[in-house]
Amino acid sequence: MNFRFIIADVKVSFKSWIRSKGTVFWTLLFPVLLIMIFGSIFSGTDDISYDLVIQDLDQSEFSESFIKQLNQTSMLRINEIGSSINIEKYMKKEGNFSGLVIPSDFGNSIQQASVNENVSCELTFHYDPSQQTTTSIVQTIISSTLQEYNLAISGGRHVITMQKEETIGDDFEFIDYFIPGMIGFTIMTSCIYGSIERNTKYRKDGILRKMQTMPVSQMDWIISKMLFMLFLSFLSTSVIILVGFFVWNLSINFTIFAIIIIIATSFLFSGMGMIIGRFVKEEETADMAGGAITFPMMFLSGTFFAFDQMPSYLQLIAQTLPLYYVNEGLRNTMIYADMDKTLYFTGFVLAFAFIFFLIGVLVTKWKED
């Protein structure tokens, strides 16, 4: 083994790495970003609380004592609604993922259970299947409280039980809600990385400068690249939906608003890539710069983690990120079929697309500084 060669080669590699200030910066920043993101999401889990809508149809001292016992669990924020309100419509309107209906025979069942072992009462737990992590935690808390309550009133016999009911319908599964987020994430990464790498490489190799001598305008060149990025966006979207359909029997609605959001998203993140590429001077640091932008958005924009799992300050940050509005816009048009929210989120996506693409065009130059 030639140790002199090994040591010399390591020294050369280190000197080459240290000369590239951009590479050093992104190499050190990237793990710091990951630590900060995941640390912020999971470090304060003991302080996280979850919203629970409760509809008390019994209005007895027994139901009040049960709600009080739920309130004692610091992880729940309880919101009681009137008996005349449709709880599913209320949850959809207010964006709540978990709801609990206490039936009108709750108190009477508890009183009758002491003399009749066959008497029981069933609570109804309404949940949004797209938020499996959040709703499963809430369900676990309620089940644990029910166990303690049954132990207190009947020595542990299951007088009070609970059934589950989806708030959207049995035709949808978790994969139906996951797919729109994956579409947004895939378009984001392909457009940002594509724009950064293309602009950085073309500028460094002098290709952009040489194109000034050709009978083609900068806008023509940008439009041609955007058409190609649109092609890739729709291609990746089609692949995701087809795989979801054939593998998981996907059930979603591909609407005109989904098409608009996909087109706008392609312009949005291509523009963002052009902005980043303008300030990335070295081709080898392009991937790191793109990762520093895409990874925080990927984890904070509701693609994988529910907002309820994050501290409130991270939720506020998430709502300033473009990918959050892309994901929510696609989910509301493809899954929820909520026209009001679809228009709301589509408007934000279009605004982001106009701003970032315009800035990207303005900062793109056909010469190397």
> 23-39: per-residue pLDDT in tens?
566 566 656 665 565 55
Helices (H), the chain: 3-19, 21-43, 61-71, 87-94, 106-113, 132-154, 174-204, 207-210, 218-248, 256-279, 286-300, 312-318, 322-331, 339-363
CA distance 263 to 81: 41
Which has the higher per-residue pLDDT, 187 or 285? 187
Model confidence pLDDT, tens digit, residues 59-91: 989 889 889 988 887 788 889 998 888 898 888
Nearest to 276 by CA among 165, 188, 159, 211: 188
Residues 6+ apart with CB under 8 A from 2: none
Our measurement of the distance from residue 195's CA atom to the centroid of its chain's CA atoms, rounded to an integer in Å, reads 23
CB atoms within 10 A of CB 321: 17
DSSP letters for 133-175: HHHHHHHHHHHHHHHHHHHHHHTT--SEEEEEEESS-TT--HH
- What is the DSSP code (8-state) at residue 210? H
**Looking up tokens 């799992």, which residue turns up?**
309
- What is the DSSP code (8-state) at residue 368? -
Model confidence pLDDT, tens digit, residues 305-325: 666 667 777 778 888 999 999
CA distance 200 to 275: 11
CA distance 116 to 113: 5
Tell me the mean pLDDT in the region 158-167. Answer: 84
Which has the higher per-residue pLDDT, 305 or 297? 297
- Could you give the C-alpha distances from 362 to 108, 212, 236, in angstroms and in order? 71, 16, 28
Q: Residue 116's pLDDT is what?
A: 79
CA distance 250 to 243: 9
Highest-scoring range by mean pLDDT, 35-49, 97-111, 169-183, 238-252: 97-111
At residue 331, does pLDDT exceed 50? yes
Burial of 294 (0-12, 13-18, 19+ CB in 10 A): buried
Per-domain residue ranges of the chain: 49-166, 174-363
Our measurement of the distance from residue 267's CA atom to the centroid of its chain's CA atoms, rounded to an integer in Å, reads 20
CA distance 210 to 123: 72
Angle CA(92)–CA(98)–CA(101) in degrees, nearest 5? Answer: 100
Q: Residue 170's pLDDT is what?
A: 46
CB atoms within 10 A of CB 106: 22
CA distance 282 to 196: 11
Which has the higher per-residue pLDDT, 225 or 210? 225
> 49-166 architecture in CATH?
3-Layer(aba) Sandwich (3.40)
Q: What is the dihedral of CA 135, 138, 139, 145, to 10 degrees?
A: 180
Amino acid letter, 127: Y
Residue 45, classed as helix, strand or coil, is helix
Q: Residue 31's pLDDT is what?
A: 60
At residue 172, does pLDDT exceed 90? no
Q: What percent of the chain has pLDDT over 90?
A: 15
At residue 216, does pLDDT exceed 80? no
Model confidence pLDDT, tens digit, residues 40-49: 555 554 556 7
CA distance 302 to 331: 11
- Could you give the C-alpha distances from 85 to 54, 57, 58, 91, in angstroms and in order? 11, 11, 14, 10
Q: 214 falls in which pLDDT band (50, 70, 90)?
A: low
Burial of 9 (0-12, 13-18, 19+ CB in 10 A): exposed
